[in-house]
Chain A
Amino acid sequence: DTGVSQDPRHKITKRGQNVTFRCDPISEHNRLYWYRQTLGQGPEFLTYFQNEAQLEKSRLLSDRFSAERPKGSFSTLEIQRTEQGDSAMYLCAGQLAGVFYEQYFGPGTRLTVT
C-alpha cells in the first residue's frame, strides 16, 4: 500500500460532460504528479505540483484540462467537455520531500467516455 488513494476508481460519462477526479497522497508527499495511460501504452506525464504550486504542464494538457492542489494536500483533475479520446486511466503519484527519485502511485481512475 503506497498510501495514495484516488476517487473514483471508475467513471463512465457521456461525451460533452465534465468530470473531476481526486487524488489523496500522504501528508509527507510534497510533490504530486498526474499521468494518463491509454490502453496498451505506458503512462504519459500530464502535470505536477510542488506543494500547492503547479510547476510543469505537458502539452497533452489541453485547455479542457485543469488541475489544482489547494493547500498542498489533495489534488483534483478536471476535464471539461469530455471527448472519446479522453478515455484512459488517470494515475496520480506522490513523492516524498528529499526522496526525489521515488514516486508512489495510486490505483488510478479509469475514465470511459461514451
Chain B
Amino acid sequence: AQSVTQLGSHVSVSEGALVLLRCNYSSSVPPYLFWYVQYPNQGLQLLLKYTTGATLVKGINGFEAEFKKSETSFHLTKPSAHMSDAAEYFCAVSDRGNQGGKLIFGQGTELSVKP
C-alpha cells in the first residue's frame, strides 16, 4: 500500500530564507507526486506535480521539487521565503495504474515565516 511521510509537522523560517519541506513516499512503483498548499479554512491548491520526464519540477509561487527515485523522496523548496508562504503544505501521491485515482496525503507541514 502507498504511504507518504512528511518529516516535521511544523517548520519555521525567516523571511528571505530557504524553505525546505521534506516528503518521502512508499510505493512499489513510482507514483504520481504532488504538493498542495492549504490556507486556513480553504480547500487545497496544487503547487506542482511530477508525472514523468524531468525530475526537477517547477510550480507556482516560486516553489520547486525534485523527484529522487533512489531516495523515494520529493522534497519541496523555495529559495527565499515570503510572508505570504505561511500555510499548511501537503505532499500526496496517486497510483499511475488507475489513471491517477485517489490521492494519498501526508500529515502536512505547517510553514511559519518570521519577519
Contact = CB atoms under 8 A, between A and B. Distances in A.
A40 B44 CA distance: 14
Contact of A43 (B9, B32, B51, B90): B90
Given A43-B44, A91-B44, A101 B32 contact: yes
Interface residues of B, number: 25
Interface stretch (A13-21, A73-81, A106-114): A106-114
Nearest to B91: A42
Interface residues of A, number: 25
B24 interface: no
A33 B102 CA distance: 7
Contact of B102 (A4, A41, A56, A105): A56
Given A95-B100, A101-B32, A43 B94 contact: no
A44 B90 CA distance: 12
Contacts, number: 62
Interface stretch (B14-22, B74-82, B104-112): B104-112
Contact of B108 (A33, A40, A106): A40
Given A42-B92, A56-B101, A91-B44, 12 more contacts: A2-B43, A2-B45, A42-B90, A42-B106, A45-B102, A45-B104, A48-B101, A48-B102, A56-B102, A93-B44, A101-B32, A101-B100
Interface of B: 4, 9, 32, 36, 41-46, 49, 51, 90, 92, 94, 99-108
